[in-house]
């Protein structure tokens, strides 16, 4: 199992980009290895923040493979998902390719989910790089739970299964009970923080 990060080289994607069925977002290659964000703080002062895509994602991947995948409760939980495989087994099945998640015309990054999964391809919302250092590892755990068979159907009785993986995989503090991985914003009692996908 290897991790590949789809960063453009000489203006071209280095990996095949999946076409996902969404009116809101698409998968794409990262434009550059360094993301630059212009931010305005609460006092109106402007500044810039940078994130090195490769460094941040390699650190998150190290958390997944070197820590989470070695936690017994994490592997036991993954084995309860539809595919009945541990996190270690899911990782051993093949490569994972990381892309960025971009809004389609008429939409913004704020409208996008934290991430989306298509097979073994995972795309990440660029805004999650602002949440460093804790966001990307838990997001990858959540998305790998979908690879392991956790539902994406918000009406399913166990719609929270992918997010629940965080509580078993060393990320309990990042668990959000309303992060359903929904295909659309839904209004269900107790799930006000549903993701829009």
**Residues facing 28 on adjacent strands:** 100
pTM above 0.85, yes or no: yes
Q: Terminal CA-to-CA distance of the chain, rounded, Å?
A: 27
- The confidence score (pLDDT) of residue 81 equals 97
Structure tokens at 186: 């839904």
- Binning pLDDT at 50, 70 and 90, where does residue 40 land? confident
Q: Which residue has the tokens 């992918």?
A: 162
87-136 residue pLDDT tens: 999 999 999 999 999 999 999 999 999 999 999 999 999 999 987 656 89
Tens-digit pLDDT profile for residues 57-74: 999 999 999 999 999 999
Burial track 5-39 (b if 16+ CB lie within 10 A, e otherwise): bbbeeeeeeebebbebebebbbbbbbeeeebeeee
d(C-alpha 3, C-alpha 119), whole Å: 14
Is residue 163's pLDDT more than 90?
Answer: yes
At residue 182, does pLDDT exceed 50?
A: no
Name the packing angle between helices 72-80 and 136-147 (round to 10°). Answer: 40
**pLDDT tens across 130-157, in order?**
876 568 999 999 999 999 999 888 788 8
pLDDT in tens, 166-176: 999 999 999 88
């Amino acid at each position: 199992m290897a991790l590949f990060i789809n960063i453009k080289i000489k203006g071209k994607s280095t990996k095949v980009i999946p076409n996902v069925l969404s009116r809101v977002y698409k998968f794409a290659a990262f434009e550059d290895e360094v993301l630059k964000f212009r931010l305005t703080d609460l006092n109106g002062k402007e500044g810039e923040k940078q994130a090195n895509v490769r460094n941040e994602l390699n650190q998150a991947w190290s958390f997944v493979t070197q820590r989470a995948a070695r936690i017994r409760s994490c592997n036991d939980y993954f084995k309860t998902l539809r595919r009945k495989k541990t996190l270690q087994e899911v990782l051993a099945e093949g490569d994972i390719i990381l892309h960025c998640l971009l809004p389609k015309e008429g939409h913004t990054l704020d409208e996008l989910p934290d991430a989306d999964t298509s097979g073994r391809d995972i795309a990440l919302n660029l805004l999650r790089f602002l949440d460093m250092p804790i966001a990307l590892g838990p997001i990858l755990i959540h998305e790998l739970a979908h690879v392991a068979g956790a539902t994406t159907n918000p009406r399913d009785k166990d719609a929270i299964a992918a997010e629940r993986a965080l509580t078993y995989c060393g990320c309990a503090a990042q668990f959000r009970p309303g992060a359903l991985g929904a295909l659309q914003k839904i209004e269900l009692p107790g799930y006000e923080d549903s993701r829009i996908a």
